Amino acid sequence: MSIEMKTQLGMVDVSRDVVATVAGGAAVDCYGIVGMASQKQIKDGLSELLGKENFRRGVVIREVEEDIHIDMYIIVSYGTKISEVAHNVQTKVKYQLEQMLGLDVESVNIFVQGVRVLNT
């Protein structure tokens, strides 16, 4: 499935995998993010940390009528203010999708799947 956009020159189809990869890359660049997590938690509440090639497993793209909603599952760094990190991710993901793909995103919902201590 893909997301269709109408332009002056015609139609553009953007794959959901592309949208998920751009959104995941933007999220991981934010301060306080350890990485993306799978939307389906492993039993015992442990979250799997996803690599670059699997960002789309931590991003869900929903289309409600003409609006695009994005759900993101992240793991944050211990000692950071979770609400501030989530707000930064929302802002950056929305901005990146508008700049890179021309998508007007209605909402970016953040689900914190875990908190990890970074090894230094």
DSSP 8-state symbol, 30:
S
Q: What is the pLDDT of residue 13?
A: 86
Whole-number average pLDDT of the chain: 84
**Residues 15-47 pLDDT 10s:** 888 899 899 989 989 999 988 887 766 544 555
- Asked whether the predicted pLDDT for residue 79 surpasses 60, the reply is yes
Q: What is the pLDDT of residue 94?
A: 95
> What is the residue range of 99's domain?
2-116
* Mean pLDDT to the nearest integer, 107-115: 92
> Quick one: which of 22, 3, 23 has its CA closest to 108?
23
**CB of 2 closer than 8 Å to CB of 16:** yes
Of 37-41, 52-56, 69-73, 101-105, which gets the smallest average pLDDT? 52-56
Check which CATH number belongs to the domain holding 57 and give it: 3.30.70.1350
CA torsion sign, 105 to 110 to 116 to 120?
positive
Number of structural domains the chain divides into: 1
CA torsion sign, 114 to 21 to 110 to 62?
negative
